Chains A and B, each alone.
Chain A
Amino acid sequence: MATSAVVVLMGACVAAPAVGYILAPFFRRRGKGFEAGFEDVGAVDDVPIGAWHLLSLELIEQNGWDKRRVTQSVWIRRRGPADSDIDVLSPICPHLCCHLNWRPDASKFICPCHGGTFNSDGNYLSGPPPRSMDPLEHRVESGRLLVRWQDFKNGVPERIPVLA
Chain B
Amino acid sequence: MSTTPQQPDDGGFWESRTGWRRLKESLLLEPLVGGSRWASVFGSLLLFMFLLQVITGILLTMNYAPSVETAWKSVSFIDREVPFGRFIRALHYWGASAMIVLLLVHIIQTFVWGAYKRPRELTWMLGVLLLFCTLGLAFSGYVLPWDEAAYWATKVGLGIVATVPLVGDYLRTLLQGGPDLGNLTLTRFFTLHAFVLPIAVALLAVVHLYLFRLHGVTPPWWKSPAQLEAAKEPFWPGQAWKDTVAALLLMLALAVWCYYWPAPLRAEADPAKPYEARPEWYFMSLFQLLKYFPSGYEVFGTFVLPSLFFLLLFFWPLLDRNPARNPRQRPVAMSLLTLGSTGLVSLTVFAITTDTRMREPATTVPRPPPVAAGAHQKLQVAKLFSQNCAACHGDDGTGGTVRAGMPSIPDFASLPWQASHSDTAIEHLIQKGKPPLMPAFGEKLSQEQIRGLTLFIRAFGIPARPAQAPAKPAPAVDALPTSRHDARAAPLAVRSSEEDARSLLLSTK
Contacts and interface: CB of A to CB of B under 8 A. Distances in A.
Interface of A: 22-26, 28, 32-34, 48, 51-56, 61-66, 68, 70-73, 91, 95-99, 101-104, 112-115, 124, 127-131, 151, 153-155, 157, 162, 164
Contact of A155 (B176, B298, B357, B366): B298
A157 to B, nearest CB: 7
B382 interface: no
A54 B159 CA distance: 23
A73 B152 CA distance: 14
B274 A73 contact: yes
A26 B182 CA distance: 16
Given A113-B156, A154-B162, 9 more contacts: A24-B177, A66-B67, A66-B184, A97-B156, A97-B159, A99-B277, A101-B361, A102-B362, A128-B293
A115 B184 contact: no
B358 A101 contact: yes
Contacts of A98: 152, 155-156, 276-277
Nearest to B363: A54
Name the residue among A22, A24, A32, A34 with the largest chain B CB count within 10 angstroms.
A24
Contacts of A155: 159, 162-163, 168, 298-299, 302
Contact of A54 (B160, B163, B180, B274): B274
Given A96-B302, A98-B277, A151 B180 contact: yes
A68 B68 contact: yes
A128 B274 contact: no
Name the residue among B156, B294, B299 with the largest chain A CB count within 10 angstroms.
B156
Contacts of B364: 51-54, 102, 104
A66 B68 contact: yes
Interface in B250-277: 270-277
A23 B361 CA distance: 38
Contact of A124 (B156, B163, B276, B295): B295
B295 A127 contact: yes
A130 B160 CA distance: 13
11 contacts: A32-B179, A63-B183, A66-B67, A96-B159, A99-B277, A101-B274, A112-B276, A128-B294, A130-B295, A154-B162, A155-B299
Contacts of A73: 271-274
Contacts, number: 152
A95 B180 contact: no
Nearest to A100: B274
A25 B295 contact: no
Contacts of B160: 96
A157 B182 CA distance: 27
B277 A61 contact: no
A114 to B, nearest CB: 5
A64 B293 contact: no
A22 B188 CA distance: 9
Nearest to A32: B179
A97 B293 contact: no
A96 B290 contact: yes
Given A101-B358, A155-B159, A71 B270 contact: yes
B299 to A, nearest CB: 7
A34 to B, nearest CB: 7
B328 interface: no
A46 to B, nearest CB: 9
B174 interface: yes
Contacts of B366: 48, 53
Contacts of A63: 177-180, 182-184
Name the residue among B158, B178, B278, B363 with the largest chain A CB count within 10 angstroms.
B178
Given A54-B363, A64-B178, A91 B290 contact: no
B301 interface: yes
Contacts of B159: 95-97, 154-155
B272 A130 contact: no
B184 A26 contact: no
B298 A130 contact: yes
Contact of A66 (B182, B271, B278, B361): B182
A63 B178 CA distance: 5
A63 B287 CA distance: 29
A112 B291 contact: no
Contacts of B182: 61, 63, 66, 68, 70
A82 B428 CA distance: 63
A61 B366 CA distance: 29
A64 B346 CA distance: 43
A27 B118 CA distance: 47
Nearest to A103: B362
Interface string B347-367: 000000000011001111110
Name the residue among A48, A91, A130, A164 with the largest chain B CB count within 10 angstroms.
A130
A99 B275 contact: yes
Contacts of A72: 271-272
B50 to A, nearest CB: 25
A115 B291 contact: yes
B296 interface: yes
B199 to A, nearest CB: 14
Contacts of B241: none
Given A113-B276, A127-B294, A34 B179 contact: yes
Interface in B302-357: 302, 357
Contact of A64 (B177, B291, B299): B177
Contact of B178 (A33, A51, A128, A131): A33
A128 B277 contact: no
Given A64-B183, A155-B299, A91 B274 contact: yes
B132 interface: no
Closest 5 CB pairs of A and B: A33-B179, A96-B159, A97-B159, A63-B178, A63-B182
